[in-house]
Chains A and B, each alone.
Chain A
Amino acid sequence: MLETLELKNFKVFTDQLIEFHNGSLAIVGPNGSGKTTILEAIEFALFKRITRKDKTVRRIEELIKHGRTKGKVKLTFTAPINQRTYTVVRKIYPGETKAELFVKGDHKPIESTPKKVDEEIERVLGMDRHAFSALTYVRQGEIDSLSRSTPSKRRSNLYNMMGLGIYDNTGSRAKKEFRSLKKELTSIKEAKINLEKIRTRLPSETELKEAELALQKIQTDSPSLDIDPIKILLDKVVLSVKDIESELNKPEISIRPEEITHEMKVSKQLQRILKTIPDIAEVQLRPHIRHEARSIFKEIFGDKYSDLVIDDDYDISLYDLKGNKVSLIAASGGEDVCVNFALRVGMNTALQKHSIASPPPGLLILDEPGAGLDAYRRRWLPDAVQGLDSIQQVIVVTHMEELKQSVDRVITLIPQGKGRQPLLEISD
């Protein structure tokens, strides 16, 4: 799916071209050499955002290499939806970004504003950035955290890893909106009550008319009397009665409350639906995840175990070749972690096949899959990575040397010190 990535003054890189091919690729290097920067650049090129451990990088100029004034990322990729190849170019200036999207080979961009480019990329990928990260990205430590958690915890972890957390987020936004509507409603009601209170203290229209008539009568009866001050006073009263009436009839006070109550109802309905959908989605996806996880696990440990069964509570059990049930705790030769690797990666492949309308992106990014595991407990990992050949493009970011042998290509980053960009060693 990805073809080339060109980085100019992007974090540690001054000028670097990275080529991607189908098959598996390992990006290897010591800590801080810029491995994760490459992943960030891909995310930035596609979605103009970088999420690092669920936190968004706020200031865009943090991405520019120190001492430079502008940066550039150029990514060429094939869209799964129409198999056409696009090039997206994003330039970063302090405080702003510019973006252009080309069909590969053309000189004229098809879109040239950041917003339009974002929309077009979402369209050709067939998913937004949440879905993209849920489908293609296995984050650092996720596999380890799955294998350490209890079944119920595992279930909620998976739930978040599936990207269904967006429903919770949207639900809480709906809740927030509901609260602000409620606040508005009470303040309007209070205002209305105040106005009505004032109105009760003022004379009614008929009373005013009667007063006016009485005044006229006094004037006709004894024209010599000076009634002007009373007249002025009466006029003022008439005016304030009118003011109050018109205030009360203003749409903000008379119609708005009904609108708000209606909107509050809609918000409640939305909150209810948003609460239900993740469960439906999870139930719908669960059989596919089981299926994928089982086939990944059997690929690796097929000579030792016959089956991997995940029940509804995400409690996992294994069956050995004689058909005996083996509990996960008893199988400790790294199988426990492998099961969770299978579950986690199976989730990605299942999501790619069953959660979007467009064809699967065919990309899987594993960020440090062996983190937190000792050498013995991760000895199956190279096999596992090798076994992922059903996915077109697998990118593994790691500092595990043993993974080098199991992938098609290796990019080794060698730091050069003094802020110079790392040297790339590419081996096929």
Chain B
Amino acid sequence: MVRIAHISDSHLGNTLFQLVERKEDVRKCLRKAVRMAMRQSPDILVHTGDLFDNPLPSMEDLNFAMELFKSVQDKVEVFLVHGNHDIPFGYHHIQSPITSLETAGVVKSTGKSDYKLHEVDIDGKKTEIHLISWTRERSFQRKLNDIIPETNPAFLFAHHIPVPKERLPIHFNYYGCGHAHSFWLDEEYDIGRPGSTCYVNWNKEIGGTKKLIVIDSDKQGNEYTTEQINDIREFKFPQAQITGMGPDEVNSYLKKILEKLSPKKDGSIIIVRVNGTIDSETENGLDRVKILQHAESKLNSLFVHIEPNWECYGPRDIRLNQPLNIETSIRDYVEQTEEKGLDELMDFLGRIMGV
């Protein structure tokens, strides 16, 4: 049996909202993920790309990665692929910081090119690990069609798999990828993506979770274990609905929403997504500075952010003469907001209502 621990997208050097504190957080998150993986005592540890946020990482980050992988070197075989953030523009794999790690002998990767086959000996049995780094889509497709593994089990890891799962060749026991920062595991097609180890792009990651995937593969097939990886810093994503409120109402409402939160630790990051439809009077009357300062001091947070997701319906308050009559209401709305295209709207409405 082969046991593989799969993590991805740690983005060392990423600073969310340009907060320097995040640099250390990101490192800690990766260390935590690796420790969680090691607790499962895997034969192989794979990181599917975007180890660094930038192909020119800081010395601190490079040293950190070097030391981290060196510390587990004796217990596990570490494989890395180059992600799109790890290599400079133009697919210059030789300029990737991961190549430095490989040269130092702490990890195994794809070297100077975008593909490499590694053979590992597990319990006296040869196992092939195929690595594909970030590359052109066509080149990826060609590789996928060309390579045929000679051992069973065999595994393929890439930063991104731009092929529909139904069209993947069947001779690999597991396909691992990264790139999109959300967790995904398809046990039918044996394809997995652990998600990022920390919050990098919260807007896309807000709905998903981040997990460690552990694959136990043998002749009978794969067995999966997953473990939640939480960011070291506490994140909260409250939502607010401000439709139809006036400026004062919104200000006190948002303050109230923020006050109600109770972060367990100091220094949390709080992102309020504010939805709804308001008029521009309200939008202009929003006292963002006061709300943010108030919340930061009350909650002892590192950072509070108001994400404007509201729609502003224009400068005027609209008066509907017959709120239950679709036609007159649309007419009122369009006339009072001075929007264009009333006739066309009416034609279209008539058509869909079948009049």
Contacts and interface: CB of A to CB of B under 8 A. Distances in A.
A263 B348 contact: yes
Interface string B316-331: 0011111111101110
B277 to A, nearest CB: 5
Contacts of B319: 284
B192 to A, nearest CB: 33
Given A170-B353, A174-B352, A279 B326 contact: no
A145 interface: no
Contacts of A163: 324
B325 A127 contact: yes
Nearest to A358: B322
Interface stretch (A61-69, A238-246, A264-272, A293-301): A264-272
B152 interface: no
A393 B245 CA distance: 37
B334 interface: yes
A383 to B, nearest CB: 30
Interface stretch (A37-45, A71-79, A349-357, A366-374): A349-357
Nearest to B249: A312
Interface residues on A, range: 35 or more
A130 interface: yes
Contact of B333 (A130, A164, A266, A280): A280
Contact of A166 (B313, B324, B347): B324
A167 interface: yes
A117 B318 CA distance: 34
Contacts of A355: 322-324
Most buried by A among B320, B347, B351, B352: B352
Q: Is the interface of A mostly helix, strand, loop or mixed?
A: helix
Interface in A162-205: 162-164, 166-167, 170, 173-174, 176-177
A269 B323 contact: no
A75 B346 CA distance: 34
Interface in A109-156: 127-128, 130-131, 134-135
Contact of B352 (A166, A170, A277, A354): A170
Nearest to B344: A266
A267 B244 contact: no
Contact of B325 (A131, A274, A285): A131
B345 A281 contact: no
B323 A284 contact: yes
B341 interface: yes
Contacts of B245: 312
B349 interface: yes
Contacts of B249: 312
Given A277-B330, A281-B320, A282-B244, A270 B349 contact: yes
Contacts of B351: 177
A285 B214 CA distance: 56
Contacts of A166: 324, 326
Given A170-B353, A174-B352, A177-B351, A276 B277 contact: yes
B348 A279 contact: no
Given A277-B329, A279-B244, A280-B244, A131 B324 contact: yes
Interface in B295-329: 311, 313, 318-326, 328-329
Contacts of B324: 127, 130-131, 134-135, 162-164, 166, 281, 351, 355-356
A421 B143 CA distance: 81
Nearest to B325: A131
30 contacts: A128-B325, A130-B324, A131-B324, A162-B324, A166-B324, A173-B353, A174-B348, A174-B349, A174-B352, A176-B352, A262-B344, A266-B347, A267-B348, A270-B345, A270-B348, A273-B333, A274-B330, A276-B313, A277-B330, A279-B244, A279-B277, A280-B323, A281-B323, A281-B329, A282-B244, A283-B243, A284-B319, A312-B245, A355-B322, A356-B324
The 7 closest A-B pairs by CB, nearest first: A281-B323, A283-B244, A131-B324, A173-B352, A279-B243, A355-B323, A266-B344
Interface of A: 127-128, 130-131, 134-135, 162-164, 166-167, 170, 173-174, 176-177, 262-263, 266-267, 269-270, 273-277, 279-285, 312, 351, 354-357
